[in-house]
Amino acid sequence: MTSGRPSDANVVRVRASETEDTEHITRQLTRAQGLAKLVGTTPAFRAAIDLTATAADADAPALITGETGTGKELTARALHYLGPRAAFPFVAVNCGSLTENLFADELFGHERGAFTDAHKPRRGLIAEADGGTLFLDEVDALTARGQVALLRVLQDHRFRPLGSNVEVAANVRFVGATNSSLLDLMKQGAFREDLYYRLCVFSIALPALRDRGEDILLLARHFLRLHAPEGRRDLVLGLSAESALLAHRWPGNARELENVMIRATRVCRGCEISPLDLGLPVPASASSLPSPGSLSPLGTYKSLKANAVRAFERAYLERLLDESDGNITRAAAVAGKERRDLGRLIKKYQLEPRAFAKRRV
């Protein structure tokens, strides 16, 4: 007669299955965390993101370049969360904030008595990031001694805390970032060539927002959904606001755009955001729109009309999907269009109906 108690082998199989499910969920969550904030469809931006996804699995040093506010730390986090080190710490340090003497202590830590004020041992950033990723922002700001110290760790994968005679393994992935041209700094003798090539196994260049065309509106709507207060989910961008967004040069890139949209969600009193709500000038004519080369050419009647139509279609579809809770059948009925035709239009603008349903959960 058999009892109802499961065998040890069955228990092991169940636990193994539960572990695999947990690991699968964890992988999905970390992938989402890595890519969720990297929004854009223009070729230059997608090329950078595709390289990020490829480089994530390689577990080699990487260098991310781009102007201030282009998303260098977000990209570094994507490298971390998409790679094999996702379950371990992501530690960021701004090299520009550290003096020459502080850098070695911050990076390696110290033992008690290593210097006058070292009353107790302290773990450095490499130890804090053990198993994970150490993100070195403004790596171009490293002093000559700091560059030598970093180079040795990259070469040997080992370091020695200040005041210690014992070397420790550096089990971290190094990711650097800069808004300067390290190649120019190398020519000037301000950045070591050997460090550059050690760090730049993967080089990921992020384009400026002004060079990303309609990603400006895509990001603006993303930030609008992200920051709209409770009870203000009906907020949309007016056509004049979209023109103002496209006309602006965005010296602060995506970070500046996010701040502009946060302001607009608080200032706007109606349902349609205006240039005044954005705090941006209203384009008086086509001459105030971006010049050819900064975005796609927008000066002719035909191109201006096409841009306005695209802006209207996207804004209408987003409002339609929002009000229909992401249900395409219901949205098609409201719009008076065939479901298949509406589906093609939604696909054209790369909208995800399920995302609008989730916003109401």
- Give 112-127 pLDDT, tens digit per residue: 655 667 667 778 898 8
The answer to whether 223 and 265 have CB atoms below 8 angstroms apart is no
**Longest alpha-carbon distance in the chain:** 90
State the chain's mean pLDDT as an integer: 81
Write down the architecture of domain 12-205 according to CATH.
Answer: 3-Layer(aba) Sandwich (3.40)
In this predicted structure, what is the pLDDT of residue 221?
93
Other C-beta atoms lying within 10 Å of the C-beta of residue 352: 12
Distance CA 212, CA 296 (A): 9
Query: Is 90 exceeded by the pLDDT of residue 33?
Result: no
- CA distances to 8, 17, 23, 107 from 124, rounded to whole Å, are 44, 38, 30, 5
Mean pLDDT of 44-52: 92
- Of 49-53, 115-119, 291-295, the range with the highest mean pLDDT is 49-53
What the block records as the tokens of 22 is 């947990």
Pairing of strands 158-159, 133-137: unpaired
Distance CA 46, CA 316 (A): 25
In this predicted structure, what is the pLDDT of residue 361?
35
Rg of the chain's alpha carbons, rounded to an integer?
25
Mean pLDDT of 268-282: 85
In this predicted structure, what is the pLDDT of residue 112?
66
The residue ranking higher by pLDDT, 166 or 205, is: 205
The reported pTM is 0.69
Q: Where in the chain is the domain with CATH 3.40.50.300?
A: 12-205
Lowest-confidence pick of 52-61, 63-72, 314-323, 327-336? 314-323
For 188-221, how does the pLDDT look when each residue is reduced to its tens digit (9 = 90+)?
999 999 999 999 999 999 999 999 988 999 999 9
Q: Where are the alpha helices (DSSP H) in 275-324?
A: 275-278, 301-323
At 88, which amino acid appears? F
Query: Is 70 exceeded by the pLDDT of residue 23?
Result: no
In this predicted structure, what is the pLDDT of residue 310?
77
Half-sphere exposure of 273 (CA within 13 A, CB side): 30
Among residues 289, 263, 287, which one has the least CA distance to residue 276? Answer: 263
Query: Is 50 exceeded by the pLDDT of residue 293?
Result: no
Among residues 253, 140, 224, 116, which one has the least CA distance to residue 188? Answer: 140
Percentage of the chain beyond pLDDT 70 is 78
Q: Where in the chain is the domain with CATH 1.10.8.60?
A: 210-358
In this predicted structure, what is the pLDDT of residue 35?
62
In this predicted structure, what is the pLDDT of residue 195?
95
- CA distances to 66, 233, 345 from 353, rounded to whole Å, are 32, 16, 12
In this predicted structure, what is the pLDDT of residue 121?
73
Report the CATH number of the 210-358 domain: 1.10.8.60
Mean pLDDT of 127-140: 94
Mean pLDDT of 57-80: 94
What the block records as the tokens of 103 is 């850098």
Query: Is 90 exceeded by the pLDDT of residue 294?
Result: no
